[in-house]
Amino acid sequence: MKVLRARAALAELYTLGEWTTGLMNIHAEDLIIKIAVRKEDVKEALINSLSQMGFRNIIPIEDGLPLPKQHHVEQCDLLIADLDPGDSIRTDAVLMMKKNSYPKHLPVLLLTNGTEKDKYWGLLTKGLVDDCIAYPFTAAALKKKIFKCALESFAERLRVLVVDDASAMRDSVKFSLQQMGFKHIDLENSGETALNKLTIEGFDIVITDLRMPGMSGIDLVREMKADDTLRHISVLVLTAENEKEKVLELVKAGVSGYIIKPYTQEALHEKILGLATYLL
């Protein structure tokens, strides 16, 4: 009865359209993005793109950098700014803000002119900015850059379910996720128990082993994708098989990505970043 009530509640949310734009939009609502961009047309395009992604706390800094203290930029989750390596006042202001944000890292996404991208390399290598994106940009490119720069803030809000029949692998994946900043991580040892939990509780990402006794990883994915209340969840599959046929089977099943075992921390990190298109 508890499962049926939970499924009914999820189905109602889906019917109302809460899931159609992705769970990340729900998580994005309370993230604060501040924009220090001088060109009004570029600023407007940026704000429109962010709004379409579900961000609601978008705060333009009208008087530009250096920022007066009342802006409290250190309290935001992401700063998007245009900088000029020759403008020491603006670059020093950003450096000051990053220092004042301690102990939480202030991510800075640099908005650049595509034709002059190379001259900003020094800002990246010195750690003044976390990444850069050239204008004009596509929505997909902006999503990836935002997710990468503000991963710490997103990770604090996302719920992940790790499914593997081997306890050592479950613990390994959990530890790797914790290193990235994820705080809400649940573990299950079978596809059956994972599916039951998914119908009761809300998750944003599922990381599942491919080969498990009983319900396999692919079977779990197929069950999820056939259910309107679960199909929105992004799925990564851990597999020791890299044959072309198996990869195609995973893609057809609807997975968002796959990770070849034994995996590295860097590989998992890259796959998580690759979910930006699905989540945002």
| Residue 70: other Cβ atoms inside 10 A | 5
What are residue 236's DSSP bridge partners?
A: 207, 257
Would you list the domain boundaries of the chain? Answer: 23-153, 158-279
Q: Do domains 23-153 and 158-279 have the same CATH topology?
A: yes
Helix, strand or coil for residue 146? helix
Instruction: Quote the CA–CA distance of 102 and 198 in Å, as a whole number.
Output: 37
Residue 16: what pLDDT?
Answer: 35
Full-model pTM: 0.81
- Interatomic CA distance for residues 85 and 249, integer angstroms: 49
pLDDT at 18: 38
In the chain the beta strands, taken as DSSP E runs, fall at 32-36, 57-60, 78-81, 108-113, 131-135, 159-163, 184-188, 205-209, 234-239, 257-260
- Given this model, what pLDDT does residue 96 score? 73
Query: What topology is assigned to 158-279 in CATH?
Result: Rossmann fold (3.40.50)
Could you tell me the CATH superfamily of domain 23-153? Response regulator (3.40.50.2300)
Which distant-in-sequence residues (6+ apart) come within 8 Å of 181 by Cβ?
A: 151, 152, 155, 156
Encode the chain (280 residues) as per-residue pLDDT tens digits: 434 444 444 444 333 333 333 444 556 788 999 998 888 999 999 999 999 988 999 988 865 555 545 445 557 899 999 877 677 777 777 777 777 665 567 899 999 886 666 777 777 777 788 899 988 999 999 999 999 999 999 999 999 999 999 999 999 999 999 999 999 999 999 999 999 999 999 999 999 999 999 999 999 999 999 999 999 999 999 988 776 678 888 889 999 999 988 899 999 999 999 998 888 8
The one-letter code for the residue type at 102 is: Y
What is the pLDDT at residue 216? 93
